[in-house]
Chains A and B, each alone.
Chain A
Amino acid sequence: MPDPRTGRRPTVSASVHCRVSVRAVWLARAVPWAGPAAAVGLVALAVLCPGLRAAGFDGTAREERHRAADNWLSYDRDNTGQRFSPLDQINRSNIGDLVVQWAYQFHPVPLRSEATPIVRDGVMYATAGGTLAFALDATTGRALWRFDYPFEAQGRGRPPDWNRGFAISGQRLYMGTVDCHLVALDARTGSLLWKSLITEEQPCFAATSAPLVVRNRVLIGVRGGDTGRLRGFLDAFDSETGERAWRYYTVPAPGDSGSETWPDTDAWKAGGAAPWTTGTYDPALDLLYWPTGNPGPKDFDGRNREGDNLYSASVLAMRPDDGELVWHYQFTPHDEHDWDANETPVLVDAEWQGQPRKVLLQANRNAFFYVLDRTNGEFLLGEPFARQTWAKGISPDGRPILNPEAIPSLQGAFACPDIHGGTNWHAPSYNPGTGLMYVTARDGCGVYYRTGHSIDHDGRPARQFVRAIDIQDGTTRWEIPFLGDEAQEINHAGTMTTGGGLVFFSSRVGNFAAADARTGEVLWHFNTGGTIRASPMTYAFQGRQYVAIVSKNGLFTFALHP
C-alpha cells in the first residue's frame, strides 16, 4: 500500500497491516467525529488505530472497522458531506491499472440519472431516473431485485424523471419520488413497506434529493422554488412508520422570526427557498445543516418581495428531533439571480488559520467559497472561486457588498456567474490529507432581465473546471480545465476523493477521470459513452476496492486489474 503522501509502493507482504495503519492516520486527522451510520466504526478506528500497530488487536473489531471503511452508506458517504473515503487500494501509483469490472444498464432509459449508489456489505442499492430502484451484487453487478415505482401523474407533460438515490437504515431503504412521496423499501427484497406523501398542503414538483437518515428520522425536502407557487419546507418522517414527525417551513409566516424580511403581502406564500438537495449532520453538536434555494414568487424580479427573504439561499442549522432552528446564515440576501444555495454544506474539523475549529464549508452557486463556524454560524471567510461580478466582496459581518450594476433590470444587467452559477448541486468533496476542497466550477457570465436570463459570454465563452480550493484562504491551488466539447457545456458531475490520494471527477460528454489530489495531474480517464450528471463513489468488499459512477443509461464499476 503506497504512502498517500509519497506515493511509494511498499512490498506486498506489508499491505494488509499497512492499510489499517494508513487509514488510521488519515482518519485521525480527518474525521475525529463522523456521521452516525458510518460513525461507530470510523470513530473507533480513528481513536484506536494509532495504538493498534504496537498493541495488536482483536479480529472481530478489526473486521467491523474494515467494513465501516468499506461501505458508502448515504448520498455523500457519511453525514459530513466530505465524500472522502479512506480506501487506498486504488491510489496514485496504480491508478493506471484501473479497469471496468461490470456495468448495469437502466431500462427503461431515464430522462436523467443523477443518483449516487450506496453500498453496504457488498450489496449496492441504486436508483435510476425517478422511478427505478434496484439492488446488485456489488462484485458482479448481477441484480438481486428491481423495483419500479408506478408514480401518480402530476398534471401534464413528462415529470422530472430523476432522483439522487437512497438513504438506508437497518433493513429499510428510503427514496424520494417524482410524485412527492417518500418510499420505504425492504433492502432484502425490494418490496414496498410504505409510502408517505411529502407535499401535504403544498403543490408537488417532485422530491428529487436523496433522503438523509438521522437516528429515527428520515429527512427530505422538495423542489419547485422556481415555480412561483411553492413555500419551501423540510420534512422529517419516522423511519419505521413513515409518519411525519415535523415540518419546517423555510419561509416564515407573518409574525414568525424572519418574517420581517418579507413585505406585508402574500409573497411569502410563494416564497420558494426549496431545500431540494441533501443536507449534512454533526452528531456531536446534534445539528443538521440544510441548504435552501432561491426565493420566489419571481426569480429575477425581486420588486414584489422587498427585503432579505429569509430563509432563502441560506444554510439552516436545526435540531433533528423537532426541527428547531438554532442558527442560520444567508449567502445571497434577496437573491435575484436564481443562485440557490443548494450546494453541500461540508463539515470539517480542522486546524483553521491556526486554531482547531469545527467549520462548515460551502462552494456556493454565487461563486463564493464560504467558511463558517458551524457551532454558531459565525462567518469566517468568503472568497470567490469562480468568475463573479455581482459583489465587491463579503464584508466581515458576512454580508455581500453588492455591485448595483449586476442587479437584473428591464434592459438587462450583465453579471457573473451566469444562471448555472460558479458551481451547482453536484457534489463537491474534501480531502483531509490535502486540506483541499474539490469543486466542479464554471466561469461564465450572463445578462439578467427582470423577466429572465440569457447567457452572454461577454465575448468569452464560459469555461468549465475542476478546482481545488484551499480551505484556509479560499484560493484555488490548482485547476483542471475541460477542453473541446466539454469546455463550455454546463457540467453537473460531482467529485469524490480517497485515501489513495486521488480525486475522481467527470465531464458532460461522459469522461470519468481521476487526478492526483495534491497537484491536479490527471492520471486516468475512461469514456463511459453517455452524459454524466452524477457524482462518483467508492467501496470495498472482500478486500477489493471499487469505484462507481452513474452515466446516463448505466452504472459503471471499476477496480484494479487483478
Chain B
Amino acid sequence: MTLREMTAWTRIGLAGAVLLSTVWVGSWTICEASAQDASFTGSGPAPKNPLSRDAAAVQAGRGLYQQRCAVCHGQDARGSMASNLVRSRIVARGSDAALFRILARGIPGTEMPPQADLEEIQVWQVVSYLHGLARPGLQPPVRGDVDAGRELFRAVGCSGCHRVDGEGGFWGPALDSIAARKTSEQIRADVLEPSSKVIEGFRSVVAQAADGRRIEGLLKNQDTFSVQILARDGTYAFLARSDIRVLESSSESAMPDYYGQTLRDEQLQDLLAFLDRQRDPFVPFDRGFQNY
C-alpha cells in the first residue's frame, strides 16, 4: 500500500504514530531498535534474567541505582534531570531483556550512557530493582501475622485517619490500594518516617485571612489565584489568594512519627504484612489537576 492508496484516516493515524514515536517515546523507540540488533554480548538470543526477584538482588540493585542512576533519575526513580522510571512504559511493561539492553548499551543520541563497566549480574540486579518499583505486585508477600496487623491498625490509631475496606477516617489517604502502588520498602519508610515525603493533598496548613479568620486543615489544592482547605470537621474552605494574609504549610506530616519507637519489631512486621495485603485496584483518591 502506497501513501496515496491509504484512506485519510490511515494517513492521519500513520502520521500520528510517527509523531508519537519520535516525540513522545523517542527514547523508547531508539532502545527498542538497538535491542533488536544485538544483545549485551552483541549477538545471539535475547538474554534472560538469571535472578529471581529476591530481596537480596533488589537490595543490591537499589544500591547500584543510588550510585549510578539517582543523580539523573532521582533518588526515588521518579525523575529529575532524566525521566520518571516508575511511570516509564519500558520499565512498567517492557521485558527484563529490553531493560537489560538499555542499561547495557545506553540510548545512543541521548545522555543515557552504557553501563559498560558493570558485571552482567549487576545489570540484572538493577533490572530487578526497577521492575520491582514499577510493578510492586510482583514482590513476594511480606511475612507477618495479617490478622494481628489488622487489629494493630485499629488499636494504634491508624484507622483514625486512614480508611481500609470502607472503615476508618478521612484525614489521611485511604490505603485500600497502597500495596498495589508502593513497594513494601516504601510502605515501611512511610510508616517509620512519615514526614520524609508528605503527599500533596494531605499537607497541614494554616491560613490567616485578611478578615482575621484563621483556617486550619489540609491543603487540598492551590494555584496562583485560589486555595482550597479541608477542615477537621469535613467542611471545605475556599480562599482567594488576595484574601490570604499568611499561608503556612507544614513540612511535617500530620501523621505521628513515633511508630518506630512505640511498636515492637514483630508488631511492625504484622502491621506491614496487613498493609501489604491492601492491593485493591481501586484508586481511592487522586488530586484533580493530575489528570493533565
Contact = CB atoms under 8 A, between A and B. Distances in A.
Contact of A143 (B176, B235, B283, B287): B287
Contact of A150 (B234, B235, B283): B283
B226 interface: yes
A171 B236 CA distance: 12
A249 interface: no
B174 A143 contact: no
Contact of B285 (A122, A150, A191): A191
Interface in A113-145: 121-123, 134, 136-137, 139-140, 142-145
Given A142-B221, A147-B283, A189-B174, A107 B292 contact: yes
Contacts of A192: 166, 174, 176, 282, 284
A193 to B, nearest CB: 4
A105 B220 CA distance: 19
A121 B287 CA distance: 20
A305 to B, nearest CB: 41
B238 A139 contact: yes
B42 interface: no
Contacts of B201: 145
A527 B241 CA distance: 30
Contact of B236 (A107, A137, A146): A137
Nearest to B220: A144
B223 interface: yes
Nearest to A187: B234
A148 B228 CA distance: 21
B283 A122 contact: no
Given A144-B228, A186-B163, A192-B284, A122 B170 contact: no
Interface string A167-209: 0000100000000000010111111111000000000000000
Contact of B238 (A107, A137, A149): A137
A87 to B, nearest CB: 19
A142 B226 contact: yes
A121 B289 contact: no
A191 B291 contact: no
B221 A147 contact: no
A142 B230 contact: no
Interface string B143-176: 0000000000000000000010010001001101
Contact of B286 (A121, A148, A193): A148
Nearest to A148: B283
A144 B230 contact: yes
Contacts of B223: 142
A143 B282 contact: no
B45 interface: no
Contacts of B288: 134, 136, 142-146
A122 B166 contact: no
B225 interface: yes
Contacts of A150: 281-283
Nearest to A142: B221
B228 A146 contact: no
Given A186-B163, A191-B163, A192-B166, A143 B289 contact: yes
A149 B286 CA distance: 12
A70 to B, nearest CB: 14
A145 B166 CA distance: 17
A136 B226 CA distance: 12
Contacts of B166: 184, 192-194
Contacts of B163: 186, 191, 193
Nearest to A170: B234
Interface string B74-113: 0000000000000000000000000000000000000000
A122 B229 CA distance: 13
Contact of A140 (B174, B225, B283, B292): B225
Contacts of B228: 137, 140, 142, 144
Contact of A107 (B221, B225, B235, B291): B291
Contacts of A121: 235-236
Nearest to B201: A145
Contact of B221 (A143, A184, A186, A189): A143
Contacts of B292: 105, 107
A509 B289 CA distance: 28
Given A142-B223, A188-B230, A192-B176, A147 B170 contact: no
Nearest to A149: B282
Nearest to B202: A189
Interface string B13-56: 00000000000000000000000000000000000000000000
Contacts of B235: 121
Given A137-B226, A146-B286, A189-B174, A122 B238 contact: yes
Contacts of B221: 137, 142-144
B285 to A, nearest CB: 6
A147 B286 CA distance: 6
Contact of A190 (B225, B226, B285): B285
Interface string B209-228: 00000000000110101101
A140 B285 contact: no
Interface centre among B176, B221, B225, B292 (most CB of A within 10 A): B221
Interface in B175-202: 176, 201
A249 B173 CA distance: 40
A107 B286 CA distance: 13
Nearest to B288: A143
Contacts of A140: 225-226, 228, 238
A187 B235 CA distance: 10
A241 to B, nearest CB: 9
A220 to B, nearest CB: 19
Contacts of A194: 166
What 6 pairs across the A-B complex have the smallest Cβ distances? A143-B288, A191-B174, A191-B284, A146-B286, A107-B291, A193-B166
Interface of B: 163, 166, 170, 173-174, 176, 201, 220-221, 223, 225-226, 228, 230, 234-236, 238, 281-292
Interface of A: 105, 107, 121-123, 134, 136-137, 139-140, 142-150, 171, 184, 186-194
14 contacts: A105-B292, A121-B236, A137-B221, A137-B226, A137-B236, A139-B238, A144-B220, A144-B288, A147-B283, A147-B284, A147-B286, A189-B285, A190-B285, A192-B282
